[in-house]
Amino acid sequence: MPKSLKNVLKFFAFLSVGVLMIWLALKDMTPKDYQDVKAAFLSGNYWLIIPAFIIGIGSHLSRALRWRILIATQGYKPGVLNTFFAVMVGYLVNTGVPRLGEIARCGVLANYEKIPADKLIGTMIAERALDLVCLMLVFLLCFLLQLDLVSTWLQAEVWPPLQEKLARADTTQILIYFGIAAILVAIVIFLLRRFRASQTAIKLKALMRGVMEGFLSIGRMDRKKLGWFIFHTFCIWAQYLAMLYVGFLCLPATRHLGFSEALTVLALGSVAMIVSPGGIGVYPYLVQKTLLLYKVAPAIGMAFGWIIWGAQTLLICILGLISFIWLPIHNRKLRQNP
């Protein structure tokens, strides 16, 4: 299958998830619900988007500086602006096709800084894997800080349907499920052994080596660089959290919410960004359902979700387009005035 066709199919597959979530959010709304959502939008103090934008730019800059530190362990020192521009172009591409932006930012930086793309891909994957670990820590912190709320939600929403399904399932059904799982594991093991010499397997092994090399490069940092690396990692997630807290101040009905609630929205919102282009549809839907835990009206939750998603997407589009346009200009000036 041609790569361009594969990317188009991937885009529509992810987009369909977003469209489904939008439909789920709108299908049961009454005319009064629409009026409530409209009123929530009109009640917002949108001047607060300006400090949220400043915080957002800071988070993207920290990501670029952290990536630059990781690249330096491979023996290369890309320019700060080129690294920042590459990150923003990657984010812009991600709004169309999730995960394609990661390849795009490596390609951009490889082109302008003359760094081998495989080295950049290894550091990028290591960085993303580190973000996954950070996201798991955010979930854990969210769970520990709101143990009572989480346990109440589990008892009300998760355990009853799970117990009902287990009660309906007899021994034969359970054995069938275990048998299917065992067969699937056996098939995966067989395929890995059967095709370990194939081109795909070789590429996968090379990719895994790149990931390991990227992770090992963190351990090769001196104390000063490691300190800055940890500092920028903290700054990225702290600024994400601060953006959401400023967002709460935007609407009168969410101003009472604090950092614990913002932490929950951050955790689930990050998942939304993975499953649809730029989180479209999924992000506002999950934010609305999350805020229901804190007794926020559905109309307010929907309005807040779309405001936050819209502000984040607008910032990425503005910075991404500026970066895309300014990259060749900036590098032409560098060649003229090295």
pLDDT by residue (tens digit) across 175-207? 776 777 778 777 767 766 766 666 666 666 666
Whether 279 has a pLDDT exceeding 60, the answer reads yes
Please give the share of the chain, as a percent, with pLDDT higher than 70.
72
Please give the residue range of the domain that contains residue 319: 45-331
| Residue 11 maps to a domain | no
Highest mean pLDDT among 21-25, 42-46, 157-161, 271-275: 42-46
Provide the 8-state DSSP code for 91. Answer: H
Structural domain includes residue 12? no
Q: Looking at the domain assignment, is residue 102 inside a domain? A: yes
pLDDT of 167 higher than 70: no
Structural domain contains residue 273: yes
Note whether residue 122 is domain-resident.
yes
pLDDT for 148 equals 76
Is 26 inside any structural domain? no
Mean pLDDT score of the chain: 80
Across 35-58, average pLDDT? 88
On the 0-12 / 13-18 / 19+ scale of CB atoms within 10 A, 131 is middle
Chain mean position to CA 143: 19
Confidence of residue 51 (pLDDT cuts 50, 70, 90): very high
Examine residue 4 and state whether it is found in any structural domain, yes or no: no
CA dihedral (61, 338, 101, 323) in degrees, to 10, reads 70
Q: Considering only residues 158 and 216, tell me which one the structure prediction assigns the higher pLDDT.
A: 216
Average pLDDT over residues 97-108: 82
Instruction: Give the confidence band of 22 by pLDDT, cuts at 50, 70, 90.
Output: low
Q: Is 188 exposed, middle or buried (0-12, 13-18, 19+ CB in 10 A)?
A: exposed
Cα separation values, 225 from 217, 218, 228, 234, Å: 11, 9, 5, 14
pLDDT digits (tens, 9 = 90+) for 223-240: 888 889 999 999 999 999
Domain total in the chain: 1
